[in-house]
Amino acid sequence: MASTVLVRSMELLDVTLREGEQRAGRSYTVDEKVTVAETLSALGVSYVQLGFPVADDGTGAACDRLSIDAKATGIARVLERDVDAAAASGVDVIELFAPTSDRQREQLLDVGRRELRDRIGDAVSHAAETGCELHFTAMDGFRSDPDFLSTLYADLADAVSYVSIADTVGARTPAGVSDFLADLSAGVNRSRLGVHFHDDLGVATANALAAARHGVGKVDVSVAGVGERAGNTPLEEFVVAAVTGQTNLAVDVSFERLLPSARSIVEALGETVPAGKPLLGESAFEHESGLHTAAMLDDPSTFEPFDPARFGGERRLLFGAATGRGAAERLLERAGAEPTSDQVDALLDALASRGELPLAEALSVARDLDWSESPDVETEE
pLDDT tens digits for range 259-285: 999 999 999 999 999 999 999 999 999
Based on the domain organization, do 261 and 354 belong to the same domain?
no
Q: What is the largest CA-CA distance in the chain?
A: 89
Spell 193-209 as b/e; 16+ CB within 10 A means b: bbbbbbbbeebbbbbbb
pLDDT confidence bin for 7, thresholds 50/70/90: low
Based on the domain organization, do 307 and 253 belong to the same domain?
no
pLDDT at 297 over 90: no
Based on the domain organization, do 264 and 303 belong to the same domain?
no
Q: What is the pLDDT of residue 5?
A: 43
Q: Has residue 138 been placed in a domain?
A: yes
Mean pLDDT along residues 166-170 = 98
Based on the domain organization, do 183 and 36 belong to the same domain?
yes
Q: Has residue 277 been placed in a domain?
A: no
In the chain, what percentage of residues exceed pLDDT 70? 95
Question: Chain centroid to CA 46: how far?
Answer: 13
Tens of pLDDT, residues 37-58: 999 999 999 999 999 999 998 9
Q: What is the pLDDT of residue 371?
A: 58
What does residue 49 show for φ and ψ, rounded to 5 degrees? -85, 115
Tens of pLDDT, residues 315-330: 998 898 888 888 888 8
pLDDT at 296 over 60: yes
Q: Has residue 56 been placed in a domain?
A: yes
Q: Which helix (H) or strand (E) covers residue 259, if one does?
A: helix 258-268
pLDDT at 65 over 90: yes
Task: Name the pairing type of β-strands 193-197 and 162-167.
Answer: parallel
Based on the domain organization, do 115 and 258 belong to the same domain?
yes
Based on the domain organization, do 323 and 247 belong to the same domain?
no
Mean pLDDT along residues 203-209 = 98
Q: Which amino acid is at 74?
A: G
Q: What is the pLDDT of residue 370?
A: 61
Q: What is the pLDDT of residue 372?
A: 52
Based on the domain organization, do 28 and 130 belong to the same domain?
yes
**Count: domains in the chain:** 2
Q: Has residue 63 been placed in a domain?
A: yes
Separation between Cα atoms, residue 235 and residue 132, nearest integer Å: 25
- CATH of residue 174's domain is 3.20.20.70
Q: Has residue 377 been placed in a domain?
A: no
Q: 67 is in which domain, residue-wise?
A: 8-268
Spatial neighbors of 155 by CB under 8 A, at least 6 apart, are 117, 120, 121
Q: Which amino acid is at 27?
A: S
Tens of pLDDT, residues 350-377: 888 888 888 888 888 888 886 554 444 4
Based on the domain organization, do 80 and 219 belong to the same domain?
yes
